[in-house]
Structure 1
Amino acid sequence: MLSVANLQAAYGESRVLFDVHLEIADGEVVTLMGRNGMGKTTTVRCIMGLLAPQGGSIRFEGRDVAGLTPERIARLGAGLVPEGRQVFPTLRVRENLVATAANRLGRADPWTLERVYGLFPRLKERAGQMAGTLSGGEQQMLAIGRALMTNPRLLILDEATEGLAPVIRREIWHCIEHLKAAGQSILLIDKNLAVLKRLADRHYIVEKGRTVWTGSGADMDRDAERVHGYVGL
């Protein structure tokens, strides 16, 4: 589904990515891990067309998408839950959910308002509330719901539970488990190593803009000291 190879990127004269690679097959949950500032979000920005790569390749559903606009990549089926949520604060919850809703790929069981409300009942309770007045956890639920309403082939969650209360984190993890069981392909960035190890099919770690480790949860256990050295946990 997604193949990233030898990805290189920079902000102006400052090179951030030197050699990032990762792959996600249909129906897989894959993590991208590493300490802050190592290139995780920059990798996501390149995948989503928010930053033009300077080298390497990004193939999505067999198509080279490097350099395409974010709109075109989204139309191909990539959905992003960005770091910091970035909901539309002056729109109501329901308006956030329907603003970018689409089923361009003709999914037989598309995500609808009622399906999202079933996943996050709190959003239904606050359907008429301005998004900017929601708690951080509620905004994260809304950001996930908004991405699901685009009916993506690949869902990307950047810092899925960062800064959230433990009870909200558990709710978000439950949501991700539900999506995995339904066959949703997911690229997941987070720092909760124990949950990620259990939940994901495969893991990639980036260090100073390079992919330095990849493996399964079992591989992570066998190589625990090295993994902990990279992720700083």
Structure 2
Amino acid sequence: MLELSDVTAGYGGNQVLFGVSLSVGAGEAVALMGRNGMGKSTTVKTVMGLLPASGGAISFAGRPILGLPPYRIANAGIGLVPEGRRVFPTLSVRENLIATARPAATGRDGRPKAPEWTLAAIYELLPRLAERQRHLGSQLSGGEQQMLAIGRALMTNPRLVILDEATEGLAPLIRTEIWACLERLKQAGLAILVIDKHADALARIADRHVILEKGRVAWSGDTAAFRADPGLKDRFLHV
């Protein structure tokens, strides 16, 4: 569904990505891992058109998206949960959810190709948002804001959702709720690309893992291979 081939990118004269290649298949969960500053968020920004690539190719659902403006990439079916959540602080939970909502893609018969994400569906998935739907974004806890950011991305009815630092700074109980949410999304057939520091939690939901080291893919493989090599964490993940 999503494919990056030899992607290079950077900021000003500083190159950050050096030929990154990875893919996410339909209904697949892929973990993008690495220490801080290794290029994970830069990869996400490049996919979403927020940072121009200097080389390589990116395609989604078989169509090239490299060079497209971010709104067209989002409209193609990619939902982003950005690092830092970035909810609208002066809008209510409900207003945050409907502000960027778009209907699900339909087939020739006019019916949605997949179950549609609606307010009711979001509230069923994330009950805390239903309880706080009249609260402003600024009145939510960090964990609730992350849930809202996930719900907002789902309201665009994406085929792929990208989460940058899915549980950063959250309390253990809230992290557990976020991981349970991602497991349900995977079971529903949504493709997921997720960045997070909690390798054990990622191993429970991801089908494959890609580790970046200084802007290059240092290792990639399925979950069985990741679990079979405990030294990977020491070499590429631990500070």
Q: Normalising by structure 1, report the TM-score.
A: 0.98
Quote the residue 2:109 is aligned against.
none
Report if aligned partners of 2:104, 2:116 keep a CA contact under 8 Å in 1: no
Paired with 1:227 and 1:66, the residues of 2 have a C-alpha distance of 32
- What aligned pairs does 1:1-233 form with structure 2 within 5 A after superposition? 1-106=1-106, 107=112, 108-232=114-238
Offset at residue 228 of structure 1 (A): 2.9
- What percentage of residue pairs aligned between the two structures are identical? 58
CA RMSD of aligned residues (A): 1.0
Runs of 4 or more above 3 Å deviation: none
1:182, distance to aligned residue in structure 2 (A): 0.7
Asked if structure 2 preserves the Cα contact closer than 8 Å seen for 1:75 and 1:104, the reply is: no
Following the alignment from structure 2 to structure 1, what is the Cα–Cα distance between the partners of residues 234 and 65?
Answer: 33
Q: SS at the partner of 1:32?
A: strand
Q: Which runs of 5+ in 2 are unaligned?
A: 107-111
Secondary structure of 2:122's aligned partner: helix
Query: How big is the shift at 1:226?
Result: 3.1
Task: Provide the C-alpha distance between the structure 2 equivalents of 1:149 and 1:218, rounded to a whole number of angstroms.
Answer: 33
Whole-angstrom distance in 1 between the partners of 2:81 and 2:125: 16
Contact 1:220–1:227 (CA<8 Å) still a contact in 2? no
Give the SS at the match of 1:110.
coil
**Equivalent-residue separation in structure 2 for 1:23 and 1:49 (angstroms):** 17
Instruction: Give the TM-score, by structure 2 length.
Output: 0.95
Provide the rounded CA distance (Å) in 1 between the counterparts of 2:196 and 2:10: 23
* Structure 1 residue 223 displacement after superposition: 2.2
Give unpaired runs (5+ residues) of structure 1: none
C-alpha separation between the residues in 2 aligned to 1:227 and 1:159?
17
One-letter identity of the residue aligned with 2:150: I
- 2-side partners of 1:190 and 1:226: how far apart? 15
Q: Which amino acid aligns with 1:29?
A: A
Residue type matched to 1:123 in 2? L
| One-letter amino acid matched to 2:185 | L
What is the total number of aligned residue pairs between the two structures? 233
Deviations 1:97-146 (A, max 9, x none): 00000125223421000110011111111111110111000000000000
